[in-house]
C-alpha cells in the first residue's frame, strides 16, 4: 500500500494506471499460457489420433479374415516360382499374387506396430517380423488380440465380454474391394466405382503396401 499515492489527483491517476498495466500484463501472460497449453493438447490429440488410425489399419490388415488360410507365407514371388518349378506345382498367377500382396500388407502393418505399438505389441511384432525374415510362416492372432484390446481401451469402449468366443483372425484377403469396384465400373456405376477406388487408394496409403522386392 505504500506505493499507492492518493494524496493528489495525479497520484491517484498514476496509481490506477499502474494497476491497469499490471492487470493487463497478468491477463496477457495467463492467455499466453492457456494458448500454449491448448496448442500442446491439440498436438497431442492429433498424435494420438494418427497413432490410433495407423494401429486400426494394422489391425484390419492383420486380422481382417476369420476363414481360409490364416497363416502368412513369407515367400517372395521368385521363391514361389522356384518352388513351382522344383515341385512341379501348378500355382495360378492370381494365387501367387494374392499371397504376395498379403505378405506385403502384413510386413507394412508389422512395421507400423513396431513404430507406434505398446511394449507388448512391439515385442510380438518384432518376433513375427524376425520369423518372416528367416522364411518361417507366422500367425497374427495373438497380435490381433493385443491390438483389439488396446484400441477398444483407447476409444473408451468396454472390453470384449469374457463369454464371447471370437474365432482366430488372420490377414485380410486383398482384392475384394478391387473386384467389386471393377464390377460396378463395368456395369455403369461410375460414382460407386470412384468411391471404391478412393477407398482402395486410402487403404493402400494406410497400410503402405510395397511391391519393389518382387519386381
52-97 per-position pLDDT tens digit:
999 999 999 999 888 877 888 777 655 555 555 655 555 555 556 7
Q: Who contacts 75 (Cβ-Cβ below 8 Å, separation ≥6)?
A: 83, 99, 103, 135
Whether 61 and 109 have beta carbons less than 8 Å apart is answered as yes
Mean of the per-residue pLDDT values for the chain?
75
Whether 136 and 26 have beta carbons less than 8 Å apart is answered as no
Least confident of 35-49, 159-173, 194-208: 194-208
Give the Cα separation of 56 and 177 in Å (integer): 18
pLDDT band at 191 (very low <50, low <70, confident <90, very high): very low
* pTM attached to this predicted model: 0.61
How far is CA 203 from each of CA 9, 118, 174, 193, 209, rounded to the nearest angstrom?
73, 23, 11, 15, 9
13 pLDDT exceeds 50? yes
> Tell me, what's the pLDDT at 91?
53
Amino acid at each position: 500500500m505504500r506505493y499507492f499515492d492518493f494524496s493528489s489527483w495525479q497520484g491517484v491517476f498514476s496509481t490506477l494506471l499502474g494497476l491497469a498495466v499490471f492487470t493487463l500484463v497478468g491477463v496477457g501472460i495467463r492467455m499466453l499460457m492457456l494458448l500454449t497449453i491448448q496448442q500442446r493438447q491439440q498436438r497431442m490429440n492429433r498424435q494420438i489420433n494418427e497413432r490410433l488410425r495407423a494401429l486400426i489399419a494394422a489391425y484390419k490388415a492383420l486380422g481382417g479374415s476369420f476363414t481360409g488360410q490364416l497363416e502368412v507365407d513369407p515367400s517372395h514371388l521368385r521363391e514361389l516360382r522356384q518352388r513351382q518349378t522344383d515341385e512341379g506345382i501348378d500355382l495360378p498367377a492370381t494365387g501367387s499374387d494374392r499371397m504376395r500382396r498379403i505378405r506385403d500388407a502384413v510386413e507394412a502393418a508389422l512395421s507400423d506396430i513396431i513404430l507406434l505399438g505398446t511394449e507388448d505389441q512391439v515385442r510380438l511384432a518384432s518376433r513375427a517380423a524376425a520369423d518372416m525374415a528367416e522364411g518361417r510362416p507366422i500367425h497374427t492372432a495373438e497380435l490381433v488380440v493385443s491390438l483389439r484390446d488396446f484400441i477398444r481401451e483407447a476409444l473408451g469402449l468396454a472390453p470384449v465380454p469374457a463369454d464371447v468366443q471370437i474365432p482366430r483372425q488372420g490377414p485380410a484377403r486383398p482384392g475384394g474391394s478391387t473386384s467389386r469396384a471393377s464390377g460396378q465400373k463395368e456395369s455403369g456405376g461410375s460414382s460407386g466405382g470412384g468411391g471404391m477406388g478412393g477407398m482402395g487408394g486410402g487403404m493402400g496409403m494406410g497400410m503402405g503396401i510395397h511391391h519393389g522386392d518382387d519386381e
